[in-house]
């Protein structure tokens, strides 16, 4: 058993089940794995609150692996507990905060959830999560998982995303190894966002996942698992 925990931080609007394939591969390789549900129960608002809840639940050092929203939380975990962070993996994420226009979209989406419900929310967001060639069965499975989540939790996450800090100034401080990966067809956080992070990080590797959209660990689970295990083998001794 390795002496670090691999902390899998899921994207929005999915849940920790997005990591099922990677979790199995990591545990088979001898890693301790944690995959918390965000925003928690009862739902809290704010990356800082999420980090304060998660950190006491982890034993010792950890590698934070965040997809999209999970990447935003990885930055906050670094700010609160950098001495415990052995490495980071940032998948389909970015370091910038929401623009005023993006914040307005978050507010509109919260309003949509309250007025029209989760199905209308999914119809607006679901098609943006995947590449054009994705397996329809995977899309349907993801839809079911999203609709199982309470509106209160989805709204708390949207508030958190809307108000998250700009983490670009944090990038230069991250002196541990970082793997940045992104789906080639990611429309929500395109490869240019990942390239900008790599340019600002002192010790980063960059990987594009061919053909994948915004949820590359779901669309290309085996490829992402291989990349994650290879990275960990290099950085975890």
Q: Which CATH number goes with the domain that contains 142? A: 3.40.50.1820
Kindly report the backbone phi and psi dihedral angles of residue 158, in degrees, each rounded to the nearest multiple of 5, phi listed first: -60, -40
Q: Which of 140, 144, 135 is nearest to 219 (CA)?
A: 135
Q: Which of 237, 231, 224 is nearest to 25 (CA)?
A: 224
Range of the domain at 12: 5-235
How would you class 174 by CB atoms within 10 Å of its CB: exposed for 0-12, middle for 13-18, buried for 19 or more? buried
Whether the Cβ atoms of residue 175 and residue 202 lie closer than 8 Å to each other: yes
Tens digits of pLDDT across the chain (237 residues): 788 999 999 999 999 999 999 999 999 999 999 999 999 989 999 999 999 999 999 999 999 999 999 999 999 999 999 999 999 999 999 999 999 999 999 999 999 999 999 999 999 999 899 999 899 999 999 999 999 999 999 999 999 999 999 999 999 999 999 999 999 999 999 999 999 999 999 999 999 999 999 999 999 999 999 999 999 999 886
Query: The pTM is what?
Result: 0.96
Q: How many domains in the chain?
A: 1
Rounded Cα distance between 227 and 221, Å, is 10
């Amino acid at each position: 058993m390795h002496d670090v925990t691999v902390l899998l931080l899921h994207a929005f609007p999915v849940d920790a089940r997005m990591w099922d394939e990677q979790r199995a591969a990591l545990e088979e390789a001898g890693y301790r794995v944690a995959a918390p549900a965000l925003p928690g129960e009862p739902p809290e608002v704010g990356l800082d609150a999420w980090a304060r809840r998660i950190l006491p639940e982890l034993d010792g050092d950890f590698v934070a692996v965040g997809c999209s929203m999970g990447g935003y939380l990885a930055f906050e975990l670094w700010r609160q507990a950098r001495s415990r962070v052995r490495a980071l993996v940032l998948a389909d994420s970015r370091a910038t905060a929401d623009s005023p226009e993006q914040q307005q979209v978050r507010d509109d989406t919260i309003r949509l959830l309250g007025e029209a419900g989760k199905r209308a929310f999914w119809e607006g967001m679901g098609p943006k999560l995947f590449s054009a060639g994705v397996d329809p069965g995977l899309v349907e499975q993801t839809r079911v998982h999203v609709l199982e989540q309470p509106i209160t939790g989805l709204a708390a996450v949207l508030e958190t995303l809307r108000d998250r800090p700009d983490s670009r100034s944090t990038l230069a401080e991250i002196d541990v190894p970082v793997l940045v990966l992104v789906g080639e067809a990611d429309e929500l956080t395109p490869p240019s966002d990942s390239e900008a992070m790599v340019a600002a990080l002192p010790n980063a590797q960059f990987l594009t996942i061919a053909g994948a959209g915004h949820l590359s660990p779901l669309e290309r689970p085996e490829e992402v698992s291989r990349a994650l295990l290879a990275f960990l083998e290099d950085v975890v001794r």
